[in-house]
Amino acid sequence: MPFNPELCRNESEVESKLIVQYLLPQLGYTPDTWYQEVVLGSIRLDFLAFAAQVVPFVLDANSPLSVVMEAKHPKHNLNNHVSRLRHYLTTLNVRYGLLTNAKEIRIYEKVQYEIRLVFQCAGKEVETKLKEIQNLIGRESLQERQNINNLDIQISETKSRSETKRQNAMKTIAVYHNKGGVGKTTTVVNLAAAIRKKGKRVLLIDFDSQANTTFATGLVKFDDEEFDDIKDSNLLQVLQSEELYPISEVARKSNFCNPEIDVVPAHIDLMRNETDLNALDGSRLILIDKLEHVQEKYDIVLIDTPPSLNLYARIALITADYLIIPSDLKPFANQGLTNVKEFIKGVNTFRKQIRKPPIETLGVLACKISTNNQFVKHTLPKRLEAIPKRYNLQVMDTVIYDRDDLAKCAEKSLIVGDIEIADPVSIIDFKPDSMAAQEFELLAIEVLQKIGLTE
């Protein structure tokens, strides 16, 4: 049955009559290769279609080629929606985007961080132009292009191994906010798992005397302080001694995720030893030196910091190359950003004295965000816009929502004899097809891109 654009009187009819009933079948997409109303972090897509069946779908460098399809009201000018489509394609690493209001159909192609118009026709011309559209974004055409791309990638990887090795030097990222309860530890441990899934070798360092990351990665296997096997080999000993307790000896394997990650645990003794440690000459530089000895062993070092302005937070930021600032965007967390900026300023003064460049802030990461539909539509955009305006800090593209799955995977436990022992798992391993897992997948992609680590 021919398509008649006059039958599309609103956005919903553009979606159902043009995209679902006409374009997707004509382009060879079956129900198992396309999704409608996809939410990925702060991005909301009308349609996402893949060249091959992907269950669950994951967007990364190894994904089948895909197409974003956006439907607009027939009275809307498509020019007003091009920048939004550009954001979708470049952020999600999707090659093609179709934009239509039924009166007009456009196809854009992503070229690095920009998009270019590669096809345009009136809605009433779609039947006569169908072959051109199929050649661009038809499922068979994308599959053929995928095979060619895979071959090109193999050739490129072979030629550039030495260059990649230089580029992929170990990167250290601190996750810091002086306000507690903003989702910092949940972010750190699940980001570590998501990056590890991409084949990167990850070391996680817990700088908080509350040892939340140590607990969250399942390293506390005792129920009584009498059996505490962390007390004598943790971050405190690493920072107290220049010669003893190298990272390679203190770091522990954690099966919190698969593949495993290494974790330098924290202990409550950090709290009462802070004053003594502060008096030690060179205490702020010991970790930098010890990490140099394992730089061939890890690609990424993630540091979970205490929610304070103390010595441990300072050492973490002196050590790190990059900084992520998690925030639930609530008033106290936002007001705390002023303290964070002042703290960073002081840290950078010290870094300059030791001839270390300023720490690079990757952005404020929205965490523990309510999934309430009205909040997401109306309040969240305003809170995100306020960060660069009020605090001159960039906001990361990814949003981590407050989802039940994140709590459930952190609360898993084992019964060993008569005691119950915490046995948490990452959201990536607990429920890989969940929206929470997808959000951390997107965060890992964004972080790796921003720090220049190719996948």
Task: Express each pLDDT in 60-101 by its tens digit.
Answer: 444 556 899 999 999 999 999 998 999 888 888 888 999 999
d(CA 283, CA 276): 10
For residues 178 and 276, the answer to whether their CB atoms sit within 8 Å is no
Same domain, 118 and 141: yes
Residue 312 belongs to a domain with what CATH number?
A: 3.40.50.300
Q: What is the pLDDT of residue 442?
A: 93
For residues 411 and 428, the answer to whether their CB atoms sit within 8 Å is no
121 against 411, higher pLDDT: 121
Same domain, 103 and 172: no
| 260: helix, strand or coil | coil
Residue 33 pLDDT level (bands cut at 50, 70, 90): confident
Token pair for 267: 């202990």
Token pair for 395: 């906001």
Same domain, 149 and 178: no
Q: What is the pLDDT of residue 1?
A: 65
Q: What is the pLDDT of residue 420?
A: 66
Instruction: Establish if 238 belongs to a structural domain.
Output: yes
Q: C-alpha dihedral over 137, 141, 142, 148, to 10 degrees?
A: -140
Last-in-domain residue among 157, 178, 200: 157
User: Which range is least confidently modeled, 7-16, 44-53, 243-252, 429-438?
Assistant: 44-53
Structural domain of residue 29, as residue ranges?
5-157
Burial of 43 (0-12, 13-18, 19+ CB in 10 A): middle
Same domain, 293 and 406: yes
Q: What is the pLDDT of residue 163?
A: 47
Residue 153 pLDDT level (bands cut at 50, 70, 90): very low
For the cut 60, the answer to whether the pLDDT of residue 56 exceeds it is no
For residues 100 and 119, the answer to whether their CB atoms sit within 8 Å is no
What is the rounded average pLDDT of the residues 338-364?
93
Q: What is the pLDDT of residue 8?
A: 94
Same domain, 205 and 338: yes
Element holding 110 (H helix, E strand): strand 104-111
218 against 47, higher pLDDT: 47
Q: What is the pLDDT of residue 280?
A: 75
Buried residues in 232-260 as b, exposed as e (16+ CB within 10 A) = ebbbbbbbeeeeebebeebbbebebbeee
Same domain, 112 and 188: no
Instruction: Establish if 398 belongs to a structural domain.
Output: yes
Same domain, 174 and 94: no
Q: Which residue in 322, 356, 243 sits closest to 290, CA to CA?
A: 243
Taking each helix axis as running N to C, give the angle between helix 380-391 and helix 331-353, from 0 to 180 degrees, rounded to the nearest 10.
40
Q: Which residue in 67, 91, 88, 38 sits closest to 445, CA to CA?
A: 91
What is the rounded average pLDDT of the residues 269-286?
80
Same domain, 116 and 221: no
For residues 237 and 245, the answer to whether their CB atoms sit within 8 Å is yes
Q: What is the pLDDT of residue 354?
A: 87
Q: What is the pLDDT of residue 180?
A: 84
For the cut 90, the answer to whether the pLDDT of residue 343 exceeds it is yes
d(CA 313, CA 238): 15
Same domain, 144 and 257: no
Q: What is the pLDDT of residue 15?
A: 95
Q: Which residue in 40, 237, 63, 264 sits closest to 150, CA to CA?
A: 63
Q: What is the pLDDT of residue 65?
A: 65
Same domain, 46 and 148: yes
Q: How much is the CA Rg of the chain, to the nearest whole Å?
A: 25
| Mean pLDDT for the chain overall | 86
Token pair for 225: 């302080």
Instruction: Establish if 304 belongs to a structural domain.
Output: yes
Same domain, 85 and 194: no
Last-in-domain residue among 141, 157, 173: 157
Query: What is the identity of the amino acid at 200?
Result: K
Per cent of the chain over pLDDT 90 is: 55
Q: What is the DSSP letter of 64?
A: P
Q: What is the pLDDT of residue 414?
A: 64
Q: What is the DSSP letter of 61?
A: T
For residues 73 and 101, the answer to whether their CB atoms sit within 8 Å is yes
Q: What is the pLDDT of residues 392-441, one digit of tens each?
A: 999 999 999 999 999 888 887 666 666 666 678 999 999 988 999 999 99
Instruction: Establish if 227 belongs to a structural domain.
Output: yes
d(CA 184, CA 179): 10
Instruction: Establish if 455 belongs to a structural domain.
Output: no
Instruction: Establish if 301 belongs to a structural domain.
Output: yes
Q: What is the pLDDT of residue 155?
A: 43
For the cut 60, the answer to whether the pLDDT of residue 161 exceeds it is no
For 306, other C-beta atoms within 10 Å of its C-beta total 24
Same domain, 141 and 210: no
Quote the number of domains for the chain: 2
What is the side-by-side strand order in the sheet with 114-122?
34-40, 43-50, 66-71, 96-100, 104-111, 114-122
Last-in-domain residue among 157, 175, 199: 157
Q: C-alpha dihedral over 416, 420, 421, 425, to 10 degrees?
A: 100
Q: What is the pLDDT of residues 194-217, one digit of tens each?
A: 999 999 999 999 998 888 888 899
Buried residues in 179-194 as b, exposed as e (16+ CB within 10 A) = bbebbbbbbbbbbbbb
What is the rounded average pLDDT of the residues 1-20?
91
Q: What is the pLDDT of residue 32?
A: 84
Q: What is the pLDDT of residue 164?
A: 47
